[in-house]
Amino acid sequence: MARTPTGESVLARAVRVLDAFTAAEPGLTVGEVARRSGLHVATASRLVAEMVAHGLLERGPGREVRVGVRLWELGARASPTLSLRDAAMPFLEDVHAVVGHHTQLGVLDGDDVLFLERLSARDAVINYSRIAGRLPLPTSSSGVVLLAHAPRDLQERVLSGPLRPVTPAGFGAAAALRTALAEVRRSQAAVLAGHQHPDATGVAVPVRDGRSDVVAALSVIVPNDGRGRDLVPLLLAAARGISRALRRPDEPGS
Amino acid sequence: MARTPTGESVLARAVRVLDAFTAAEPGLTVGEVARRSGLHVATASRLVAEMVAHGLLERGPGREVRVGVRLWELGARASPTLSLRDAAMPFLEDVHAVVGHHTQLGVLDGDDVLFLERLSARDAVINYSRIAGRLPLPTSSSGVVLLAHAPRDLQERVLSGPLRPVTPAGFGAAAALRTALAEVRRSQAAVLAGHQHPDATGVAVPVRDGRSDVVAALSVIVPNDGRGRDLVPLLLAAARGISRALRRPDEPGS
């Protein structure tokens, strides 16, 4: 591949530029892009101009640039998660309509849960994850479900690393997390009260594909009033519906 | 930017590689990638390997590669359409729950309508557009709504080009399309019976932002039974809700 004089490939730099943009700050000046991506301003400026020419970035109002619709399209159109998301969507809508709170679909990606979809509560308890948002596995109910069914070496790596709980209720000790993972495998659900926010409880269950492998977590974020566990049967039933739709992709929601 | 010996930039080639993947064929061999992107197999092979290293592509089962979850994340996380989609989603869900057919949100992109979101009917009439799917503006109700409110030069370019109707009911003559665009501006809705499929009617209305500019089209695909127009008031009310949410992004669905 063509490389810049410093030996780093253009693609590597382009990925660093794209990584500078976040949901909280979708618009950045070239100077901000340079600082966040660790590139010289002149290099960032040339790269941004070429990325704009290909639609990977767009120039916004003022001096800002942002992620381009074209990049979104290239990533979304043939995404490996599209069939999962399509199969899940009718059931996410049903859960959302009945429960009335944030309803999410997350997958394992590295040491995080990556949220493919979130239907927001109009009257939300808290509001932390967005589409394509990430949370470290041990801090969220979806993450704990995915970790409980993850390969053993990933479990051990997470258990042996710093857990970094978000609230005092979160998992700070490996022993507590290990017990929780075993409980999730036994009960088929993670109910985490106050782990992300004192006022919220996360309730998550696994979604299995046609080979019974866990491929996603279905979750809701509800008020921290001690009634989160009551929603587990509803979520388990919806997760079974998603699994059925995954086995028969031509009959969504069947 | 670093360029290959033929003068084409690495980024340009990477975009061509990504463009080879479609919703219908999300997994391709390196040979297929080379053929579709017009690159030599050796060049495609090196580029694919580097894109896999950065997570822009993933190796699937067998010899296939596909779009990577990382690319989806980079495109979705800070997408300029995310706030529009977030504002629209509760209203899309309401329309979908009440109407029970495909419900879509589309934006203008070049000479196409690009669909940001589609909620599928469980019992669908037809099934043509997906997330990040595209249709030429004059062939779809969403496209006609967006074209009716597009800059004059885009309207004239589309009107002067070949219209390529999909069915005999579609717009084949510029005069018919010009009349339809004026009617859409007057009535605030496009109702196209049988333009994409003989059994389906598309019904679309404009979505306006806080400055009253048309930024999207809200549409449903219903059976072609002559009752499509009855849904226009429902869609117009939902579109007003989306506009209100766009003006107040902190109160989704408010």
Cα B75 from Cα A72, distance rounded (Å): 4
Q: How confident is the model at residue A2 (pLDDT cuts 50, 70, 90)?
A: low
The CA distance from A250 to B142, in Å, is 25
B199 within 8 A of B221, measured Cβ to Cβ = no
Q: Which residues of chain B have pLDDT under 70?
A: 1-7, 121-130, 249-254
Query: What residues does B107 pair with on adjacent strands?
Result: B114
Interface residue A252 vs chain B (CB under 8 A): yes
Predicted TM-score of the model (pTM):
0.82
Name the minimum distance, in Å, from the CA of A176 to any CA of chain B. 31
Rounded-to-integer distance, Cα B62 and Cα B57, Å? 15
Q: What is the pLDDT of residues A218-240, one digit of tens each?
A: 999 999 999 999 999 999 999 99
Closest residue in chain B to residue A77, using alpha carbons only: B132
Q: What is the pLDDT of residue A251?
A: 46
Give the model confidence (pLDDT) of A126-181 as tens digits: 555 567 788 999 999 999 999 999 999 999 999 999 999 999 999 999 999 999 99
Residue B3 DSSP code: B
Q: B82 by DSSP, 3-state: which?
A: helix
Asked if A198 is an interface residue toward chain B (Cβ–Cβ < 8 A), one would say no
Cα–Cα distance, A253 to A244 (Å, whole number): 8
Tell if the CB–CB gap between A77 and B50 is shorter than 8 Å: no
Give the distance from residue B24's alpha carbon to the nearest chain A alpha carbon, in angstroms. 8
Note whether A74 contacts B: Cβ–Cβ < 8 A: yes
pLDDT of residue B126: 58
Asked if B173 is an interface residue toward chain A (Cβ–Cβ < 8 A), one would say no
What's at B177, amino acid-wise?
L
**In degrees, to the nearest 5, what angle opens at C-alpha A93 toward C-alphas B251 and B146?**
65
For A122-135, the three-class secondary structure string (H helix, E strand, C coil) is: CCCCCCCCCCCCEE
Q: Which two tokens mark A103?
A: 């309803």
* Per-residue pLDDT band at A253 (split at 50, 70, 90): very low
Answer yes or no: do B93 and A89 touch at CB < 8 A: no
Instruction: Indicate yes or no: CB of B1 within 8 angstroms of CB of A46.
Output: yes
Cβ within 8 Å, pair A69-B89: no
Q: Residue A61 has what pLDDT? A: 77
**Which of A13-27, A71-85, A97-111, B227-241 has the least mean pLDDT?**
A71-85
Between residues 6 and 35 of chain A, which touch chain B (CB distance below 8 Å)? 9-12, 14-15, 18-19, 21-23, 25-26
CB atoms within 10 A of CB A64: 16
DSSP B39-107: --HHHHHHHHHHHHHTTSEEE-STT-EEE-HHHHHHHHHT-TTHHHHHHHHHHHHHHHHHH-SEEEEEE
8 Å CB contact between A118 and A130? yes
Q: What share of chain B is helix, strand, coil (3-state, %, to 5)?
A: 45, 20, 35
Is any Cβ of chain A less than 8 angstroms from the Cβ of B127? no
Helices (H), B107-208: 141-148, 152-160, 174-187
Q: Give me A222's structure tokens.
A: 């509800």
Closest by CA position to B83, among listed B63, B54, B102, B105: B105
Question: Cβ separation of B122 and A97 shorter than 8 Å?
Answer: no
What is the C-alpha separation between A157 and A237, in angstroms, rounded? 32
What would the two tokens of residue A102 be?
A: 């944030």
Cα–Cα distance between A35 and A29 in angstroms, integer? 10
The two most distant CA atoms of chain A are separated, in Å, by: 60
Banded pLDDT at A18 (limits 50, 70, 90): very high
Residues of chain A above pLDDT 90, percent: 72
pLDDT tens column, B84-139? 988 898 899 899 989 989 999 999 999 999 999 988 866 555 555 567 788 999 99
Q: CA nearest B204: which of B224, B228, B223? A: B228
Closest-CA distance, B73 to chain A, in angstroms, reads 5
Instruction: Give the list of residues 6+ apart from residue B83 with CB closer than 8 angstroms, or none.
Output: B246, B249
B186 forms beta bridges with none
Q: How confident is the model at residue A31 (pLDDT cuts 50, 70, 90)?
A: very high
Spatial contact of A94 and A114, defined as CB atoms under 8 Å apart: no
Q: Does residue B155 contact residue B147 with C-beta atoms inside 8 Å?
A: yes
Mean pLDDT of chain A: 89
pLDDT at residue A123 in the model = 58
- Tell me how far apart the terminal alpha carbons of chain B are, to the nearest angstrom: 47
